[in-house]
Amino acid sequence: MSTAPHLPGTPVPATPATPATLPALLAHRAAAHGERTAVVCGAQRLDFAAWQARSGALAAALRAEGVRSGDRVGLCFGTDRWAEYAVAFLAVLRAGAVAVPLSDRASPAGTAHALTDAGARLLLHADGGPRPPGVPDGVRTRTEATATATAHHPADPADPAIPGTPGLPEPDPDAPAQILYTSGTTGTPKGVTARHANLVHGCTLDERRRPLRHSRTFLHAFPVGTNAGQTMLVNALNAHAACVTAPQFTPARFVRLIAEHAVGSVFLVPATAVELLASRALAAAAERGDLDTVRLVGSTAAALPQPVALALDRAFGKAQLVNYYTSTEAAPAQVTLLFDPARPDSPGRPASLAELRVTDADGHPVAPGEPGELWLRSPAAPRAYLGERDGAVFRGRWVRMGDLGRVDADGFLHLLDRERDVVKSGAHKVSTLQVENALHAHPKVADAAAFGVPHPVLGSVVAAVVVPDGELTAAELRTFLLDHLAVHELPATVHFRTTLPRNEGGKVLKRQLRRTLTTPDTPEATP
């Protein structure tokens, strides 16, 4: 591509280094290299030119149907339809509306709550699929095919337009762009609103500065409707590497995709990491050298148990294990932690502590090394709960994470527990993360969760639910734990299960486990 020569003495035209919105970023990438693959999901391939064209056509159809700036539009897609979801999400933003991403794994009640709470009157879902269960009667449903086929009228020509997309409104960076619902592990999911400027923060128009330049492709299996999934969508738009999505997570399929696409970056949550490490497929792939292309293994959504982190570090011997510490409320704020196998008690040392604060209950910073509440500072327009002000979580650009932790003298972050999960047993406070680390260290424990249950004398005691890998008794487990935990940290009861209940983001539903303890589906043991 040729450019006009610059004449000495004349000002150099300024080129913006950052896009104002995600639609502007897509338009840039489609113009720069439209034929480059952006998203791969099964047999589906989506390049930037097709992403731009299809999202533009769908956006125009939405405008023709009456969708206007600020309207809320639900999006319900499975992990096998990530390419369709990518088109639909950008179409909603290009139409000037607010996207409400939902997972097809959500319960009908959860879908109904989100659509009603957000005030959505339209839902986009996968082509060829039925109307998702739980959609309220007053919400219209469309697919990309049905919406574009029934669009007879162009969008309002009076709308200010993005260059190259006449008739579509140019999104205001300060306008709402997305409402994402929290996991709801402890209560009713809350809608978290994000503006366009928030979603596009950290993105670039400079090809030399694109993230994941060490990778030709990156791989994930995150569902739509989660913060981790939305991060992968932004990566697909912004990264040098193409996004490969596993249509459905199984260890065999996941490692096969690593080899097939020469994957350089792998993104997991603790639940998929545990399942992957327990599989024969991973060991076989390592023996064949199929994992040698991987240079980065990222984990997010929850804390990795120490034994799981060490096992991942060994399995992906040529990769750096990175823990990403963030939340739906805090994004794009996050702390990137490089895991050090010599310091497995910590998820890693942040490159900078400027955006992380450890405070007491009143919000005052604590002394270095002291435990306290963790806060992250958003570098962009901060998010907020839909329809409410919560000073306990959002204070200016600072967001309360709901975790307890400390930063040691060497700058390593230590996550002590979720505030709500700390077990107050008699005179002691017990970290459930500490108990889970000890449980995962047993070679016959495939998965485990610890939490507090009421006790008539101590107030609360620790209970554990364990998924065994082979034959395991409570007595064996107790003997093992005596060398890893203090007496007050030992689980008062151990319950054996075949699986742990998890939400669509992979987090253990401890609330559900507490409810089912009185009617276990496998024998309960009291060590």
pLDDT tens digits for range 195-215: 999 999 999 999 999 999 989
- The mean per-residue pLDDT over the stretch 404-414 comes to 94
Assign 437 a pLDDT band (cuts: 50, 70, 90): very high
Domains 22-200 and 422-525 are alike in CATH topology? no
Query: Rounded to whole angstroms, what are the CA distances from 348 to 289, 309, 337, 342?
Result: 27, 11, 4, 10
Contact 496, 466 (CB under 8 A): yes
pLDDT tens, residue by residue, 56-68? 999 999 999 999 9
Domain boundaries, the chain: 22-200, 422-525
Residue found under tokens 């907020």: 384
DSSP codes of every residue in 184-230:
-SSSS--EEEEEHHHHHTT--S-GGG-S-TT-SEEEE-PPTTSHHHH
Across-strand partners of 14?
none
- Percent over 90 (pLDDT), the chain: 74
The tally of CA atoms less than 13 A away on the side-chain side of residue 396 is 6
- The mean per-residue pLDDT over the stretch 294-317 comes to 93
Distance in angstroms (rounded) separating the CA atoms of residues 340 and 323: 11
- Percent over 70 (pLDDT), the chain: 91
- The mean per-residue pLDDT over the stretch 309-328 comes to 95
Predicted confidence at residue 353, as pLDDT, reads: 86
Of the options 3.40.640.10, 3.30.300.30, 3.40.50.970, 3.40.630.30, the CATH number for the domain spanning 422-525:
3.30.300.30
Chain mean pLDDT for the chain: 89
**pLDDT(183) > 90:** no
Per CATH, the number for 22-200 is: 3.40.50.980
Predicted confidence at residue 523, as pLDDT, reads: 44
Whether this prediction's pTM lies above 0.85 is answered by yes
Q: What are phi and psi of 400, to 5 degrees?
A: -75, 125
Predicted confidence at residue 16, as pLDDT, reads: 61
Assign 158 a pLDDT band (cuts: 50, 70, 90): very low
R_g (Cα) of the chain, nearest Å: 24
Segment among 148-162, 236-250, 258-272 with least mean pLDDT: 148-162
Structure tokens at 206: 């400079």
Predicted confidence at residue 262, as pLDDT, reads: 96
pLDDT tens, residue by residue, 106-154? 889 999 999 999 999 999 999 988 899 999 999 999 999 999 987 654 4
Q: What are phi and psi of 369, to 5 degrees?
A: 90, -15
Predicted confidence at residue 184, as pLDDT, reads: 65
**pLDDT(359) > 80:** yes
Predicted confidence at residue 392, as pLDDT, reads: 85
